[in-house]
Amino acid sequence: MPTHPALTPEPDFTTAQPSRATLLRAYRLMRTADEMARLYEENKAVTAKYVHATARGHEAIQLAAACILGPQDYAAPYYRDDALLLGMGLTPYELMLQLMAKRDDPFSGGRTYYSHPSLRRAGLPTIPHQSSATGMQAIPATGMAHGIKYLEGQEVISNEKSVIKTDKETLTSTEGNTIPHSSLLITNSTAKPLVLCSIGDGAMTEGEVSEALQMAALHQLPIIYLVQDNEWGISATGREMRSMDAYEFAAGFKGLHRLQFDGADFLASYAGMREAADYVRQRQGPVLVHARCPLLGHHTSGVRREWYRGDNLAHHTIQDPLPRFHQQLLELDFTEQELQALGEEARATVQADYQRALTAPNPDPTTFADHEFAPPVVTQETGERSPAGADKALMVDAALHAVDDILREFPEALFYGQDVGGELGGVFREAALLAKKYGDARVFNTPIQEAYIVGSTAGMSAVGAKAIVEIQFADYIWPALNQLVEELSKSCYLSNGQFPVQSLIRVPIGAYGGGGPYHSGSIESTLLTIRGIKVVYPSNAADMKGLMRAAFLDPNPVVMLEHKGLYWSKVPGTEDAKTVEPAAGYAIPMGKAAVAQEALAEKLQSGETCVVITYGMGVHWVKTASRQFPGQVEILDLRTLNPLDWEAVHFAVLRHGKVLVLTEEPLMNSFAESLAGRIQRHCFRQLDAPVFTLGAANLPAIALNVELEKQMLPNPDKVAAALRELLAY
């Protein structure tokens, strides 16, 4: 297979020369990366216990990229970037701790793969958590840049002399005034921060990468996309995977500046990355760098080069950046002796660090469950739920007012999604006039890009912006699941608690009045299979307002499911969804159920009662149905589905002995069935009847015709029939 053609550096790429000290450091670290790769191969019986990849062949561009980064910056490396990490200031020992999944691995405490960093350390660029980075990192990285631009645009940081401290300190302006509720993480620096997103060329074909590039170009965000092109995926070649390379592909994004150079040449790479960084720091827009480089190591330790590379490996070896850099330094009057000394220093360091890492302690098995979530902020009900003289509010208005209160109080908060900005303010008017009130930088429309809407919140959170986003209908959430699962839900756990993602994702949900198959779905059971996210589902205006604030303040990802049929209380039987509106600042802790209707004491005493455990629209179906059984039906409104208030569920079951679990979802394999099984398992001796369940018909979609819709969904009559059977059992 012929090697790729040599690239002619642009003139500027030959004039920006690094200092002598930078050249020596780069050479030492290039030798260090080479020695690490060699050691890993020689000791593969130990080092290949857990899968890993090395930078071998990519060292020049990675070390050049590290040279442009400062402590004010953010980086999203990919799994081959161990040389980049060395350049950023990590030691071989620290990288080896992750290689061997040791306790003191600074990134994850032994929880994730080699060169999958998460790091918040003074003096170094911040590296938020990301997944295995085959394209998925582009959206969170772009979210970081989006958050930086937003925060820079706010008055509190409009002056570069403003001092912005960590999230546990206060924010102080140049006048010395404390700004409340700020957790902005951009540090004071004469250089404006940028984001470096490193990515392999094979990942550029991912649709999510296009979403990221689109938003970066559209909003002119401060980000560099560094595409390291070695012409391989795993065993698939570039010509098999794409019709154009990343440089050619980027031409389609107007406003995305492009650079291209030889990534195996350190001097050309250094000059090129400096040009890219200067362009971004001057806030001229985003840059895509296309750097060609050879792949000299294995794809990973588990997919070895000798299995498929053939003659291609020999062609790539000719472009090895290490001997090329060695020769360049000799031509720049460095001596062979000083270069050999640096090589010997690198070898000694790698050998010593390896021996040290071998004996480092493993994680304590008892800590395996730590950091699923960061601790919640709201742990008890606060504020006034029913202030004197307050009017009743619709659920949609309570949601609107809750977001309005948040935007007014927290300058780092912003709200975006499809159609929530501009004149419309949401297809349900749930964001009406917010864009006019707070400006298009804080409340804005996005393209039809659900993956970006959700995934960008991880990046926003990492830089201190606090995003509220909306997926227009629950049926539209599916393109976002990759980001929700891989980037948001795992971040706190896999970063060992360093990077919980603060994200509030609003999702209108549910069926009523002929919404049809793509505007009526219920998705909670799917969401509840995702560990590491919280799911709330209010049934009335007061709970909507209190849970909205708690969800915003929570440091973890929260999905707020909002039933469209309850927004305006127009559906017969939903009048109680309209409640007295709580005061601003009212909050309800997540994971706390509420008794929405109590059974009469005398009925309970005589054993004539049951409890219905439900949420959302189910609360109102039961209220209507229970009029046929006065005083006999208690309703436990879960309000939060994860974390579940099991204590309240358990108490209600013991209190009544007869239970119906009600959901709007198709029943088979649903959350409702799972909860019923759990009740059966843990409360069996206290039950006076089998646990009843009721849900929608087990069909793939809700039909458009309203009569067909009625046949599929639960309703008060169906609930009453189930209650009659349960009470008579």
Catalytic center residues: 519
Q: Using only the alpha carbons of the chain, give its radius of gyration.
A: 29
β pairing state of 466-470 and 413-417:
parallel
Distance in angstroms (rounded) separating the CA atoms of residues 240 and 501: 37
Query: Is the peptide bond preceding residue 643 cis, with omega within 30 degrees of 0?
Result: yes
CA distance 148 to 611: 50
- Residue 163's contacts (CB-CB under 8 Å, 6 or more residues apart) are 171, 172, 188
Torsion of CA 147, 491, 169, 410, to 10 degrees: 50
Q: Which ranges in 220-320 belong to alpha helices (H)?
A: 238-241, 246-250, 266-281, 312-317
Give the integer Cα–Cα distance in Å for 263 and 629.
76
Asked if 87 and 124 touch (Cβ cutoff 8 Å), the reply is no
Q: How many other CB atoms are found less than 10 A from the CB of residue 15?
A: 10
How, if at all, do strands 178-179 and 171-172 pair? antiparallel
Answer for the pair 417, 592: CB distance below 8 angstroms, yes or no. Answer: no
- How far apart (Å, rounded) are the C-alpha atoms in residues 150 and 504? 17
Give the C-alpha distances (Å, rounded to integers) separating 187 from 32, 125, 177, 244, 301.
31, 11, 17, 39, 38
Please tell me the distance from the alpha carbon of residue 467 to that of residue 460, in angstroms, as a whole number: 7
Determine the Cα–Cα distance for residues 286 and 219; give it in Å rounded to an integer.
9
Residue 26 dihedral angles phi and psi, to the nearest 5°: -60, -40
Q: Which of 449, 452, 453, 448 is nearest to 416 (CA)?
A: 453
Per-residue CA distances from 704 to 33, 184, 442, 616 (Å): 61, 47, 36, 22
Q: What is the DSSP letter of 7?
A: P
